[in-house]
């Protein structure tokens, strides 16, 4: 019984007599043999894994995308190798380095700050799928899925305007974050398209986390007592805003309308449920996973256009005219 025969049995590479196969399987069970993925990878050059660069392993935002990736990879024979970049370029670079040295066969990048050129360079070596940013690749083996943050913010603010609101505050995200800038731009444009001025001090600076939403809201209310609605650049800050209003005795939506962005799982269960815009993170992750698998196996996938969806819930009321 030679090693090659065993190899053939394990991989089904060639026909082997059934008796021998059974014999070998018995021995495997008995000895608790586990094939060494390193040795196999070394000779085949295939790792069977797809690198996933996320930003925060505990983030509810990217968590959905990770679930989607998991399900998209399921049954493909590939498994994800997940590393966090913590929104820090050097962490991200280390992560990519690690993934490459582990010989991942494709890369899925969730957000982050890696320069486009670097991504394009990587795409020369393996299929890349980017979520949350638009990146143009030369080769069709790589792709990106971006959302129109600006448009979604525009729609959200327009919705408030349609309900009669005129003094609309904005709790913005970090200015070095492209999503945050786009959402701010959408807010601004929606106002201007209705002939309303953009007032810088109706914008409070946040950092996408709850406490900054709380503080920002306190500032906005203090500066503009006539404000009737707040657009928070993400749901987490909207939660902070909600609490600030509660503390100040302002009712939502009677005294203040509130809208968020991202439609986190919890947003349907706040009091009142929060109007927000849903990015189909899980679906996008799923598709990206199927995309890279398709590249790896020489198949094709149907294109996918993610749709942002407004979830109109009870946190918004028409403006009252006293």
Stretch that binds a second copy, among 61-69, 139-147, 187-195, 297-305 (CB under 8 A): 61-69
Interstrand relation of 203-205 and 49-54 (parallel, antiparallel or unpaired):
unpaired
Contacting positions for DNA (CB under 7 A): 1-8, 10-11, 13-17, 20, 33, 35-36, 39-40, 42-45
Interatomic CA distance for residues 156 and 231, integer angstroms: 8
DSSP 268: G
Decide if residue 306 touches a second copy (CB under 8 A). Answer: no
Task: Return the residue of 24, 53, 83, 157 that touches a second copy, per CB under 8 A.
Answer: 83
Decide if residue 258 touches a second copy (CB under 8 A). Answer: no
Decide if residue 182 touches a second copy (CB under 8 A). Answer: no
Interatomic CA distance for residues 167 and 314, integer angstroms: 19
- The CA distances from residue 203 to 76, 167, 172, in Å, are 47, 11, 7
Q: Which does 271 bind (CB under 5 to 8 A by kind): DNA, a second copy, none?
A: a second copy
Helix/strand number for the chain, H first, E second: 11, 11
Contact criterion met (CB below 8 Å) for 277 and 308: yes
Residues 87-126 that bind a second copy (CB under 8 A): 97-98, 100-103
Q: Which does 82 bind (CB under 5 to 8 A by kind): a second copy, DNA, none?
A: a second copy
Min. distance of Cβ 279 from DNA in angstroms?
40
Helix runs in the chain, H state only: 3-11, 18-31, 37-44, 60-73, 89-101, 116-122, 149-162, 178-193, 210-223, 235-248, 281-297
Min. distance of Cβ 311 from a second copy in angstroms?
15
Min. distance of Cβ 76 from DNA in angstroms?
17
Six token digits for residue 11: 């991989």
- The residues binding a second copy (CB under 8 A) are 34-39, 41-42, 47, 56-60, 63-64, 66-67, 70, 79-84, 97-98, 100-103, 210, 214, 239-240, 242-243, 246, 265-266, 268-273
């Amino acid at each position: 019984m030679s090693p090659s025969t065993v190899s053939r049995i394990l991989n089904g590479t060639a026909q082997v007599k059934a008796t021998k196969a059974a014999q070998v399987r018995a021995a495997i069970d008995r000895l608790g043999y586990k094939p060494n993925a390193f040795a196999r990878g070394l000779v085949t050059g295939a790792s069977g894994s797809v690198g996933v660069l996320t930003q925060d392993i505990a983030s509810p935002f990217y968590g959905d995308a990770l679930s989607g990736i998991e399900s998209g990879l399921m049954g493909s024979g590939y498994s994800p190798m997940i590393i966090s970049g913590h929104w820090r370029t050097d962490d991200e670079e280390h992560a990519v380095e690690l993934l490459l040295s582990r010989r991942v066969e494709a890369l899925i990048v969730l957000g982050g700050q890696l320069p486009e050129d670097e991504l394009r360079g990587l795409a020369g070596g393996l299929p890349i799928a980017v979520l949350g940013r638009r990146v143009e690749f030369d080769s069709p083996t790589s792709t990106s899925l971006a959302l129109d943050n600006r448009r979604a913010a525009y729609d959200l603010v327009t919705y408030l305007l349609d309900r009669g609101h005129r003094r609309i505050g904005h709790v913005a995200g970090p200015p070095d974050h492209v999503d945050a800038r786009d959402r701010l731009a959408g807010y601004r444009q929606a106002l201007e398209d209705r002939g309303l001025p953009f007032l810088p001090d109706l914008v409070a600076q946040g950092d996408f986390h709850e406490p900054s939403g709380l503080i920002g809201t306190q500032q906005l209310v203090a500066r503009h007592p006539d404000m009737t609605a707040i657009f928070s650049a993400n749901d987490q800050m909207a939660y902070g805003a909600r609490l600030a209003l509660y503390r100040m005795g302002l009712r939502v939506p009677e005294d203040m309308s509130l809208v968020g962005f991202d439609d986190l799982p919890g947003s349907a269960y706040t009091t009142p449920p929060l109007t927000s815009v849903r990015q189909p993170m899980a679906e996008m992750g799923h598709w990206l996973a199927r995309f890279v698998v398709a590249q790896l196996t020489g198949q094709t996938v149907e294109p996918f256009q993610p749709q942002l969806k407004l979830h109109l819930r009870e946190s918004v009321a028409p403006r009252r005219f006293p």
